Chains A and B, each alone.
Chain A
Amino acid sequence: MPLTTLGVGGREATERIDRQIKSGRIDFGGRMFAAMLFSSLALALLVLVVLFADVFGAGIGVFTTRAESFLSGGLRTKADSAGVFQAIRGTFWIAVFTVVLAFPIGVATAVYLEEYAHKGRLTRFLDLNIRNLAGVPSIVYGILGLTIFVKHLKSFTGGATPISAGITLAILVLPIVIITSAEALRAVPGTLREAGFGVGATRWEVCRTLVLPYALPGIITGTVLALARAIGEAAPILLIGAVTGLLPGQEGLLDPSQLTERFTALPVVIADWARTPRAGFDELAAAAIIVMLVLVMAMNTFAIILRSHFERKRN
Chain B
Amino acid sequence: MVMTAKPVECGPVEEISLPSSIVVTPAAPLPKVVFGARDVSVYYGDFRAVRDVNVDVYEHQITAFIGPSGCGKTTVLRCFNRMNDLIDAARVEGSVTYRGVDLYHRDVNPVEVRRRIGMVFQKPNPFPKSIYENVAYGPKVAGIKGNMDDIVEKALRSAGLWDEVKSRLKVSGMSLSGGQQQRLCIARAIATEPEVLLMDEPCSALDPIATARIEDLMQQIKNEFTIVIVTHNMQQAARVSDRTAFFTTEVNSESDTRTGLLVEVDETDKIFSKPSDERTENYVTGRFG
Q: How far is the CB of A123 from chain B (nearest CB, A)?
A: 10
User: Of A198, A214, A314, which is within 8 A of B189 by CB?
Assistant: A198
Q: Are B83 and A197 in contact (CB under 8 A)?
A: yes
Given A199-B189, A200-B141, is A315 in contact with B128 using a C-beta cutoff of 8 Å? yes
Q: Are A195 and B125 in contact (CB under 8 A)?
A: yes
User: Of A199, A209, A210, which is within 8 A of B192 by CB?
Assistant: A199
19 inter-chain pairs at a CB distance below 8 angstroms, sorted by A residue, are A118-B88, A120-B88, A191-B121, A191-B125, A192-B125, A192-B128, A195-B125, A197-B83, A198-B114, A198-B119, A198-B121, A199-B137, A200-B112, A200-B115, A200-B138, A205-B141, A209-B141, A214-B128, A314-B128
A205 to B126, CA, bound (A): 16
Q: Which residues of B contact A118 (CB under 8 A)?
A: 88
User: Of A193, A200, A213, A314, which is within 8 A of B114 by CB?
Assistant: A200
Q: Are A197 and B127 in contact (CB under 8 A)?
A: no
Given A200-B115, A200-B192, is A195 in contact with B141 using a C-beta cutoff of 8 Å? no
> What are the interface flags for B96-138 relative to A under an 8 Å C-beta threshold, 1 for contact and 0 otherwise?
0000000000000001101100110101011110000000011
Q: Are A199 and B118 in contact (CB under 8 A)?
A: yes
Q: Are A199 and B138 in contact (CB under 8 A)?
A: yes
Q: Does A25 contact B (CB under 8 A)?
A: no
Using a CB-CB cutoff of 8 Å, which residues 112-153 of chain A contact chain B? 118-120
Q: Which residues of A contact B231 (CB under 8 A)?
A: none
A139 to B114, CA, bound (A): 52
Q: How far is the CB of B246 from chain A (nearest CB, A)?
A: 26
Q: How far is the CB of B74 from chain A (nearest CB, A)?
A: 12
Q: Which residues of B contact A191 (CB under 8 A)?
A: 121, 123, 125
User: Of B123, B125, B142, which is within 8 A of A200 by CB?
Assistant: B142
Using a CB-CB cutoff of 8 Å, which residues 175-195 of chain A contact chain B? 189, 191-195
Q: Are A193 and B115 in contact (CB under 8 A)?
A: no
Which A residues are closer than 8 A to B by beta carbons? 118-120, 189, 191-202, 205, 209-210, 213-214, 314-315
A60 to B119, CA, bound (A): 64
Nearest residue, chain A, Cβ from B85: A197
Q: Are B111 and A201 in contact (CB under 8 A)?
A: yes
* Residue from A199, A213, A314 with most neighbouring chain B CB atoms (10 Å): A199
Nearest residue, chain A, Cβ from B112: A200
Q: Does B172 contact A (CB under 8 A)?
A: yes
Which B residues are closer than 8 A to A by beta carbons? 81, 83, 86, 88, 111-112, 114-115, 118-119, 121, 123, 125-128, 137-138, 141-142, 172, 174, 185, 188-189, 191-192
Q: Are A198 and B128 in contact (CB under 8 A)?
A: no
Q: Are B174 and A315 in contact (CB under 8 A)?
A: yes
Nearest residue, chain B, Cβ from A195: B125
* Residue from B81, B123, B141 with most neighbouring chain A CB atoms (10 Å): B141
Q: Which residues of B contact A205 (CB under 8 A)?
A: 141
Q: Are B119 and A201 in contact (CB under 8 A)?
A: no
A119 to B115, CA, bound (A): 26
Nearest residue, chain A, Cβ from B119: A198
Q: Which residues of A contact B172 (CB under 8 A)?
A: 315
A268 to B192, CA, bound (A): 60
Q: Are B141 and A199 in contact (CB under 8 A)?
A: yes
Q: Are B88 and A119 in contact (CB under 8 A)?
A: yes
Q: How far is the CB of B195 from chain A (nearest CB, A)?
A: 12
User: Of B86, B88, B112, which is within 8 A of A197 by CB?
Assistant: B86
Q: How far is the CB of A215 from chain B (nearest CB, A)?
A: 12
Q: Which residues of B contact A193 (CB under 8 A)?
A: 86
Q: Which residues of B contact A194 (CB under 8 A)?
A: 83, 86, 119, 121, 125
Q: Which residues of B contact A120 (CB under 8 A)?
A: 88
Nearest residue, chain A, Cβ from B174: A315
A120 to B83, CA, bound (A): 20
